[in-house]
């Protein structure tokens, strides 16, 4: 697969005079981020927040660099002697925080734990894995059900845990930091693991300030509380004018915001008193036409880029031939009338709190075509369980493909829900298309990327035609950094404290 890269990367140094407060002591650092964390189990939730935070404590066999290219981690090398077999050799001398040595038995136990559970979201990355066995203490053999050229991109999200330790109850990783926080809360606190096998991080103690809104993160930065923050707001440039020691970095996000629908049930809870309108493709296409994506992106308090397909251009599978989705309120109203809904209807929109602003703009746009939207904005701890219970009729969220391959989306959000095979774990609208299911499964076995690309693009075009998944826009992530630090944004959006260094070192 070709190396992924950002389509926007801007670096702006603000010139002027003065600064408002000196950075914290050199041995510690605080970072303000929008992350939420509800569990310390690295396998339970496949969310950006969980991966970003728990990657300080746990590590995978292979990892990825800032451009999403695969790099060695706990496995120092690997070979594929035949299309169905991968043999990985573990790095010698690696120990868990408890002091126990890492062996192939830990890797096998980790894979068996995840593949055998239906409540662990990262299990979706192993759907094509047939078996994992230890060849000796340092070598692991992974067999796949069919040829899988992107196996390494998938197992990059398998954090290795110690055999015999339940990570839901006890934290024992191999990562560069030990956990200091006793339980999930407003901060995530770490202490450097001084016996770490690799390069030691620059900072001995790290505090992530969690659930910080862009304005709160900006305040943290101005107050000197956090010298590196994520503050996705257009206010930053005016708020920081006159400072000499500040760098603003803007990075295109892999996450695409989208609308999706309950397309399965004849009656749906968010549309009381009538049949489920979203089972009719004309209604879904009407919603698509009623949204002015350019206006939506321009109206947000954060930087955003409108999009008409579910992945940004640097994700493998993006189809440049798909045209921009037009805005056509008149045609949207005509489609609703054709579907027997000339007066529109009322619907509850479930959304994550971090997307409440977008939901407000969507409410106004859909009102123009007669769709009365009641916005229900929930914290993540309530939003995701509500969708799992199928309480959503129309919902607003985001999806990213951190492996750099559109198969992340297709396997989890587009394929028919099949818990036993780990398909459809994010398909909360129960969309189903047997022909697409077949193509999705066949595409994972195509070893040649030149063969895979047109198949993936064919799938994306059909998904867009069915309009069960409506892409809206992608953010530009904005980071503020004091010039005493050295760091670059990642294409996958993660902020890792162990990648932050002191400038000049």
Query: For residue 345, which of 368, 376, 373, 377 has the smallest C-alpha distance?
Result: 373
The residue among 149 and 386 whose pLDDT is bigger is 386
Residue 153 C-alpha from the chain's centroid:
14
Q: In this predicted structure, which of 64-68, 326-330, 427-431 has the lowest mean pLDDT?
A: 64-68
DSSP alpha helix (H) spans, 291-433 = 293-299, 329-338, 356-367, 380-388, 407-409
What is the reported pLDDT for 20?
Answer: 40
Question: What is the rounded average pLDDT of the residues 425-447?
Answer: 91
Q: What are 1-19's pLDDT values in tens digits?
A: 444 344 333 434 333 333 3
Please, are residues 489 and 66 in contact by the beta-carbon 8 Å criterion? yes
- Beta-carbon contacts of residue 133 (< 8 Å; ≥ 6 apart): 108, 140, 141
Judged on CB neighbours under 10 Å (0-12, 13-18, 19+), 323 is exposed
Please, are residues 204 and 193 in contact by the beta-carbon 8 Å criterion? no
CA distance 166 to 169: 6
Query: For residue 483, which of 248, 285, 308 has the smallest C-alpha distance?
Result: 248
Identify the residue whose tokens are 């662990």: 120
What is the reported pLDDT for 18?
Answer: 35
What is the reported pLDDT for 6?
Answer: 40
- Using CA atoms, how far residue 308 sits from 56, 178, 232, 369, in Å, is 35, 42, 22, 20
Identify the residue whose tokens are 């493998």: 316
What is the reported pLDDT for 7?
Answer: 37
Q: What are 287-304's pLDDT values in tens digits?
A: 999 999 999 999 998 899
Question: What is the rounded average pLDDT of the residues 302-321?
Answer: 93
Please report, rounded to a whole number, the percentage of residues in the chain having pLDDT higher than 90.
77
β-pairing, 70-72 with 9-13? unpaired
* Average pLDDT of the chain to the nearest whole number: 91
Question: What is the rounded average pLDDT of the residues 451-455?
Answer: 92
What is the reported pLDDT for 2?
Answer: 40
b/e sequence 124-143, b meaning 16+ C-beta within 10 Å = bbbbbbeebebeeebbbbbe
Q: What are 261-290's pLDDT values in tens digits?
A: 999 999 999 999 999 999 999 999 999 999
Residue 128 C-alpha from the chain's centroid:
21
CA distance 468 to 317: 19
pTM of the predicted structure, to 2 decimals: 0.80
Query: For residue 253, which of 68, 396, 379 has the smallest C-alpha distance?
Result: 68
Query: For residue 52, which of 442, 407, 352, 500 has the smallest C-alpha distance?
Result: 500
Please, are residues 257 and 474 in contact by the beta-carbon 8 Å criterion? yes
Please, are residues 298 and 348 in contact by the beta-carbon 8 Å criterion? no
**What DSSP letter does each residue of 77-124 carry, written as one string?**
EEEEEETTEEEEEEPTT-B-TTSPBP-HHHHHHHHHHHHT-SS-GGGG
Fold of 41-170: Dipeptide-binding Protein; domain 1 (3.90.76)
CA distance 146 to 210: 41
Side-chain-facing half-sphere of 5: CA atoms under 13 Å: 5
What is the reported pLDDT for 433?
Answer: 96
Query: For residue 251, which of 225, 231, 276 has the smallest C-alpha distance?
Result: 231
**What DSSP letter does each residue of 168-206 carry, written as one string?**
TT-----SSEEE--SSSSSEEEEEE-TT-SSPPPS-SEE
SS3 442: helix
Question: What is the rounded average pLDDT of the residues 424-442?
Answer: 94
CA distance 434 to 448: 24
What is the reported pLDDT for 505?
Answer: 66
Q: How many residues does the chain have?
A: 505
Question: What is the rounded average pLDDT of the residues 211-221?
Answer: 94
Does 399 score more than 60 pLDDT? yes
Does 220 score more than 70 pLDDT? yes
Question: What is the rounded average pLDDT of the residues 143-169?
Answer: 93
Domain ranges of the chain: 41-170, 253-475
- The H or E element containing residue 137 is none
Name the architecture of domain 253-475: Roll (3.10)
Query: For residue 107, which of 45, 61, 152, 153 has the smallest C-alpha distance?
Result: 61
């Amino acid at each position: 697969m070709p190396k992924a890269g950002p389509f926007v990367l801007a670096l702006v140094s603000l010139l002027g005079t003065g600064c408002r407060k000196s950075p914290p002591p050199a041995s510690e650092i605080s970072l303000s981020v929008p992350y939420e964390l509800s569990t310390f189990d690295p396998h339970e939730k496949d969310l950006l927040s969980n991966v970003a935070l728990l990657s300080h404590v746990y590590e995978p066999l292979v990892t990825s660099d800032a451009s999403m290219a695969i790099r060695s981690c706990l496995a120092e090398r690997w070979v594929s002697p035949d299309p169905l077999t991968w043999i990985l050799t573990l790095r010698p001398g690696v120990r868990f925080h408890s002091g126990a040595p890492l062996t192939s038995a830990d890797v096998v136990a980790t894979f068996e734990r995840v593949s055998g559970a239906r409540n662990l979201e990262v299990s979706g990355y192993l759907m094509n894995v047939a078996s994992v066995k230890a060849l000796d203490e340092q070598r692991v053999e992974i067999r796949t059900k069919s040829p899988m050229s992107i196996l390494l991109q998938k197992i990059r999200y398998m954090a290795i845990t110690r055999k015999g330790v339940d990570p839901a109850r006890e934290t024992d990783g191999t990562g560069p930091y030990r956990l200091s926080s006793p339980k999930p809360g407003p901060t995530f606190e770490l202490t450097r693991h001084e016996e770490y096998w690799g390069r030691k991080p620059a900072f001995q103690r790290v505090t992530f300030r969690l659930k910080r809104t862009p304005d709160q993160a900006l305040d943290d930065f101005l107050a000197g509380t956090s010298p590196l923050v994520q503050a996705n707001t257009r206010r930053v440039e005016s708020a920081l004018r006159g400072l000499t020691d500040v760098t603003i970095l803007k990075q295109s996000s892999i996450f695409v915001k989208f609308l999706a629908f309950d397309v399965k049930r004849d009656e749906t809870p968010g549309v009381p008193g009538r049949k489920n309108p979203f089972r009719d493709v004309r209604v879904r296409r009407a919603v698509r036409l009623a949204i002015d994506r350019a206006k939506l992106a321009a109206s947000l308090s954060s930087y955003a880029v409108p999009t008409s397909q579910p992945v940004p251009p640097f994700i493998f599978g993006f189809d440049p031939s798909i045209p921009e989705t037009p805005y056509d309120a008149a045609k949207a109203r005509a489609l609703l009338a054709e579907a027997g809904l000339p007066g529109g209807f009322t619907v509850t929109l479930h959304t994550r709190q971090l997307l409440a602003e977008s939901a407000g703009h969507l409410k106004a746009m859909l009102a123009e075509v007669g769709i009365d939207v009641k916005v229900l904005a929930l914290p993540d701890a309530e939003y995701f369980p509500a969708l799992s219970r199928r309480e959503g009729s129309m919902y607003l969220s985001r999806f990213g493909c951190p492996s750099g391959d559109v198969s992340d989306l297709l396997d989890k959000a587009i394929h028919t829900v099949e818990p036993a095979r780990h398909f459809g774990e994010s398909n909360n609208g129960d969309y189903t298309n047997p022909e697409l299911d077949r193509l999705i499964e066949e595409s994972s076995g195509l070893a040649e990327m030149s063969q895979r690309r047109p198949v993936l693009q064919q799938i994306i075009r059909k998904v867009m035609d069915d309009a069960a998944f409506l892409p809206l826009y992608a953010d530009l992530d904005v980071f503020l950094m004091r010039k005493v630090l050295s760091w670059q944004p990642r294409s996958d959006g993660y902020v890792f404290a162990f990648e932050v260094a002191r400038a000049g070192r």
